[in-house]
Amino acid sequence: MTTRCGPLGGQATITGNTLTVRNIATGAMGCAGDVGEQHLWVMEFLKRPIELTFSQGTFSWKSGTDTLSFKSE
C-alpha cells in the first residue's frame, strides 16, 4: 500500500473473511501535518485484523471502528 508519505508493506494473509497484516515496514519519509497523520492512521488500521465484506457492489474493509469502502464504477 502507498500513502502520500511513502510505501507500506508487510506479510498479508486472508483466513475466511479476515485480512491480517504482520511485520509492517514503511519506506523513508518525512511527512508532517495532515499527511503524516493520515500515514499513521493507515498503519494503525493495518495493524488490526480487517474484516472483509462485499455487498451491493461495495467492497469494505473494517478494522476496529474504522471502515474503508471501495465501490466499483
Distance, CA of 57 to CA of 41 (rounded, Å): 26
CA distances from 23 to 4, 12, 63 (A): 20, 9, 17
Q: pTM for the whole thing?
A: 0.81
| CA 67 distance to own-chain centroid | 9
pLDDT digit string (tens) for 48-66? 999 999 999 999 999 999 9
User: Average pLDDT, whole number, for the chain?
Assistant: 90
**CA–CA–CA angle 32, 62, 5 (5° rounding):** 20
φ, ψ dihedrals at 61, nearest 5°:
-115, 120
